[in-house]
Structure 1
Amino acid sequence: MAEKVHKYLIPWDFTIVAENALKHAVNLSKLITDPVSIELLYVIQTGGLFNKSKYSKTEASEMLHDDKKRISEEYGIEVKTHILEGNLFNTISEFASESEAELVIMGTHGIKGVQKLTGSWALKVIAGSEVPFLVVQEEPKKDKVFSHIVMPVEFRDEDKEKINWGIRYAKLFNSKLHIIIPNAFDSGVQQKINNNLAFAKRNIEAHGLEWEIHNSSKGKSFQEEVVNLAVDIEADLIIVMTTPNIDLTDFVFGAQEQYIIANKARIPVLCVNPGTLGI
């Protein structure tokens, strides 16, 4: 049987945030015994609102060549590089799927910026992707990553799939899962939350993983409580699932997960989409 290769794709724009994403990829690769392939993708934008790329294909090719050499010398790894033309919001996720990437690791500029992706911009790139996106705002703070994972669990059926994603990454990185639940506004919603918690307990414990349940406080937004918990327990990662059937209104005014993706604590966020995993 062929040895499994974990492929990490990094949207590359020659900025410090892209370098931060690379550092996260290098850290993750150290935690996995199987081979890891780290690949950089520069997109020459040919469509959408921001359709002018900063560098031409020739310039980008030369810069990628230089970065590939520098990365080899600085990090001791060999990366593959790609240049594609297309709409930034589609090309990254489409290439990730076509190349069978396991994870896209994308750097953002926090609350401001465009490619420079953040907030609704990052969400637009992520939405609909078959491949999970790990969104990072700064370089890793320590070599040991993902030791504590925070995962909000609500009342949607899709939360069960998010729980399966959490199990996958907790197993891969030997993490403890911290599930936080909202305050239910009626008994029907509470029952749905309880059903999802029962699903979580059954499946997490079947895999022998360590986990804990946390209740959110009243009077604050659930998204704020999720980030606060991650800060309090010094979590390395938050897992969110994007809003099903996301539309223009969500991009303009902000889906609920947008606050978490661009959290001010700068905690990495793993974004998964509904219908992309079954364990």
Structure 2
Amino acid sequence: MGNETLHPITLPDWYYEIKEPPTEKNWQVFLLINDKYFHPIAIAQSIIYAKSFGAQLTLCAPPEYEKENLKKLINYLTNNFNLFVTGLQLDIPMKEWLLQAGNKYEAIFYIASYEDNKTSLGINISKTLYFFRNSRVPLILIPHNANLMPLNKVALSMNFEKEEKEKILWGSYFARIANSKIIIYKPKVKDKNYKLGMMSNYTSLTQLYDKLHLNYTIVDTDFTVYTIEESSISLATLDQASIFLIMVNKYWGIIDYILGPTEKNLIKKSQIPIMCIPKRDDLYVLCS
């Protein structure tokens, strides 16, 4: 980033009206920065995420990042946005650190920016998803041309796979902690087996959200189980959702290694931040 490290960041008036949730957790939002592939929008949006969750913002820099620039950026953000900001200068490559960070820190999520097919890790989207596929902590990818938005609305599509229940939990976290409204896009299903999976997932969703008195709406669509996710991202953009939740595969096949995972194209086309939640054999619980 060089001389752009202290790029002036202006936040809207509504930022200063965000009420930080009461929490005794030492949560951290990790913003992954890079000298060459990074965009100020990611810093601004990360500040909003951290304040909305009552979390510390940690700037995570690779070994080659200028230490003086990191200090200046920390001081700039701390002094201007009334936020607890720290820095972490890695002494090992980023991809090695990511393998251990989820268990070492109380991380809520990682954040990286991207433009076209390059992320702020200095690699393409496919390789970024590959490095994160075993993570216990989701990754939020922010397009360089995204609009700055509060966490008023979060969106997701709910399909028939049992792993989709992880999105139900994360939707509840945004609603409970950041007071977000949850928008769920539902596909049209004809297959009997798919219908059973859908029924299970939507029963779990409505039972949890109703029990917690969360603000949510289910939108019936004409999209199939195969097109619902890509189409829903377009709908979420029109509905002014601030973030869209997707699942990403933990296990890759030969086609994923050659052409990249299917999620890559969803992310490249998106105009809003995408939270990538790795599929897991057990549910990751952020809070009780």
How has the CA–CA distance of structure 1 residues 3 and 200 changed in structure 2, closer, same or farther, with 3 Å as cutoff? Answer: closer
CA distance in 1, matches of 2:232, 2:135: 23
Task: Please give the root-mean-square deviation of Cα atoms over the aligned residues, in Å.
Answer: 2.7
User: SS at 2:34's partner residue?
Assistant: coil
**Which residue is 2:41 aligned to?**
20
Deviation at 1:78, TM superposition (A): 4.8
Alignment partner of 1:42 out of 57, 61, 65: 61
For structure 1, the 5+ residue unaligned runs are 45-54
User: SS at 1:17's partner residue?
Assistant: coil
User: SS at 1:200's partner residue?
Assistant: helix
Deviation at 1:259, TM superposition (A): 2.6
CA distance in 1, matches of 2:25, 2:253: 36
Deviation at 1:197, TM superposition (A): 0.9
Deviation at 1:113, TM superposition (A): 5.7
**Which residue is 1:134 aligned to?**
140
Alignment partner of 2:161 out of 156, 159, 167: 156
Deviation at 1:233, TM superposition (A): 0.8
Counting only pairs closer than 5 Å after superposition, residues 8-157 of structure 1 correspond to structure 2 as 8-14=29-35, 17-32=38-53, 34=54, 36-44=55-63, 55=64, 60-112=66-118, 115-138=121-144, 141-142=147-148, 145-157=150-162
**Which residue is 1:277 aligned to?**
284
How has the CA–CA distance of structure 1 residues 171 and 67 changed in structure 2, closer, same or farther, with 3 Å as cutoff? Answer: same
User: SS at 2:196's partner residue?
Assistant: helix
1:37-93 Cα offsets, whole Å, 9 max, x none, are 21111223xxxxxxxxxx3xxx62233223223333444445222222444334235
TM-score by length of 2: 0.79
How has the CA–CA distance of structure 1 residues 132 and 112 changed in structure 2, closer, same or farther, with 3 Å as cutoff? Answer: closer
Aligned 8 A contact 1:124 1:251 in 2: no
Alignment partner of 1:205 out of 186, 206, 210: 210
**Which residue is 1:51 aligned to?**
none
Deviation at 1:117, TM superposition (A): 4.4
Counting only pairs closer than 5 Å after superposition, residues 228-267 of structure 1 correspond to structure 2 as 228-247=234-253, 249-265=255-271, 267=272
What percentage of aligned pairs have identical amino acids? Answer: 18
User: SS at 1:190's partner residue?
Assistant: helix
Give the counterpart letter for 1:41 in structure 2: C
Deviation at 1:23, TM superposition (A): 1.3
Size of the aligned set, in residue pairs, is 261
CA distance in 2, matches of 1:70, 1:160: 39
CA distance in 2, matches of 1:29, 1:12: 16
User: SS at 1:3's partner residue?
Assistant: coil
CA distance in 1, matches of 2:138, 2:240: 22
Aligned 8 A contact 2:59 2:88 in 1: yes
Aligned 8 A contact 1:93 1:131 in 2: no
How has the CA–CA distance of structure 1 residues 179 and 37 changed in structure 2, closer, same or farther, with 3 Å as cutoff? Answer: same
Aligned 8 A contact 1:151 1:180 in 2: yes
**Which residue is 2:192 aligned to?**
187
CA distance in 1, matches of 2:48, 2:157: 25
Deviation at 1:245, TM superposition (A): 2.2
Give the counterpart letter for 1:136 in structure 2: I
Aligned 8 A contact 2:181 2:215 in 1: yes
4+ aligned runs moved over 4 Å, structure 1: none
TM-score by length of 1: 0.81
1:192-234 Cα offsets, whole Å, 9 max, x none, are 1122111111111111112222234348833321211112211
Aligned 8 A contact 1:43 1:88 in 2: yes
Give the counterpart letter for 1:169 in structure 2: F
Give the counterpart letter for 2:179 in structure 1: N
Give the counterpart letter for 2:100 in structure 1: E
